[in-house]
Structure 1
Amino acid sequence: MTSVDHDPTATIPGPPLPVLSGPWSARVARAEGTDLDVVHGWMQSPHIDAFWHQAWPRERWYEEIAGHLAGDAILPVLVDLDGEPFAYIEVYRVVRDRLAGQYAQLPHDLGVHIAIGDAARTGQGLGRRLLRALAEGLLAADPACVRVVAEPDVTNAPSLRAFEAAGFRPCGEVVFPDKTAALLVHPRSEEDLPK
């Protein structure tokens, strides 16, 4: 009899669509048509490119979104505010992300990347409202998940303020090749913060 290597993360489902209520709504982003136009256009914006560094050609964004849709690590999501496109979100499973192993993650931990499309809609408190709704919506969508994490660049002060105002707690820093990130955690309860 031979033993077979078993990947314990194989049974962890892909990231869910957050459960949001008005004025927010979320849907899976498509790799073509208007969705692709919106994401590609937003990523060219200086306020997003400054931290995402993904002002790629439209074809590369097609490949990026299509690749996410074909896998189970990242779910590309468009969020509307009052029926109008507001933000591009990537919901990811930490165990399948480069953040894995950088802190004491749990198998069902979820992470979020966020890009608010229109620079004129930043700085009004909408980002923090959305981040709180996203965290609560992801915890509702996956009862096995007890915390939602984010890792914005430590130099992105507006993002750090918004995450903290939305209930994310600072839990140290993580160094990646392209940035030093603040590890921020939105726990289901105080006991769920990383030790």
Structure 2
Amino acid sequence: MKPVSHLDSYRRHATAGAPPVPELTAPWEARLPRPDGYDLHLVHRWNSAPHVAAFSRQAWPLPRWEEQLRTHLGGDDVRPLLISWHGRPVIYAEVYRAARAAVARCYQARPHDLGLNLAVGELAMTDQGLVRSLLPRLTDALFEADPHCTRIVMEPDVRNTRAIRSFEAGGFMAADEIMLPNKLALLMVCKR
């Protein structure tokens, strides 16, 4: 009898649906942002903040952010999230299907692999341990929401040592330096 490989699950599920919206436990909460009003302005302001824009390169005008959020919310590749801590939005995140993103050219992505981008919006909230506290809960919630997912990847800019340290403390391990279209990144992996 042939041994069963964990990859057999991926062969049977060669395509994956939209990334899940994780269900977090208190004091954390994740929700889809609205592409207008307060949420749009918050996402725009956070991504324009110098400490975020230096590495994300998404300091776009408000209309482009509105279009980006509408595209993500209407598609199956990326789920934008506003993550709150004790009821206060503090982190903008994107959960995406890694196999459908540029990072897939840099490692052997499986259909259900998830990618994760995070940004603490307010400079005053950085270095408070939020990311290292959130990541284990967030990755557990994502693995629970997609039982076929066995890996979550992140690809921070190699110069963003603050984020890399937080991601390592939150359970991600450095795998390799990779070249993406807009940056030299560190591929980081969290396994189920």
TM-score normalised to the size of structure 1?
A: 0.89
Q: CA 1:13/1:162 → structure 2, altered by over 3 Å: closer, same or farther? A: same
Match 1:175 to one of 179, 183, 188: 179
For 2:134, the aligned partner's letter is L
For the residue of structure 2 that corresponds to 1:100, the secondary structure is: helix
Deviation at 1:147, TM superposition (A): 1.2
Aligned to 1:78: 82
Q: CA 1:175/1:66 → structure 2, altered by over 3 Å: closer, same or farther? A: same
Deviation at 1:60, TM superposition (A): 0.7
TM-score normalised to the size of structure 2?
A: 0.90
For 2:79, the aligned partner's letter is L
Q: Deviations over 1:120-147 (max 9, x none)?
A: 1111211111122221111111111011
Output the aligned Cα RMSD: 1.4
Aligned to 1:193: none
Count of aligned residue pairs for this structure pair? 181
CA distance in 1, matches of 2:178, 2:106: 7
Unpaired segments of 5 or more residues in structure 1? 1-7, 189-195
4+ runs deviating over 6 angstroms = none
Q: Is the 8 A contact 1:116 1:122 kept in 2?
A: yes
Match 1:89 to one of 93, 110, 117: 93
* Residues 1:118 and 2:96 aligned together: no
CA distance in 2, matches of 1:170, 1:10: 26
* Residues 1:44 and 2:48 aligned together: yes
CA distance in 1, matches of 2:151, 2:23: 15
For 2:105, the aligned partner's letter is G
* Residues 1:55 and 2:59 aligned together: yes
Aligned to 1:16: 20
For 1:103, the aligned partner's letter is Y
Unpaired segments of 5 or more residues in structure 2? 1-11
Deviation at 1:9, TM superposition (A): 8.3
Deviation at 1:62, TM superposition (A): 0.1
Q: Is the 8 A contact 1:9 1:95 kept in 2?
A: no
For 2:35, the aligned partner's letter is A
Deviation at 1:71, TM superposition (A): 1.0
Aligned to 1:157: 161
Q: CA 1:10/1:107 → structure 2, altered by over 3 Å: closer, same or farther? A: closer
Aligned to 1:3: none
* Residues 1:29 and 2:33 aligned together: yes
Deviation at 1:10, TM superposition (A): 7.7
CA distance in 2, matches of 1:30, 1:111: 21
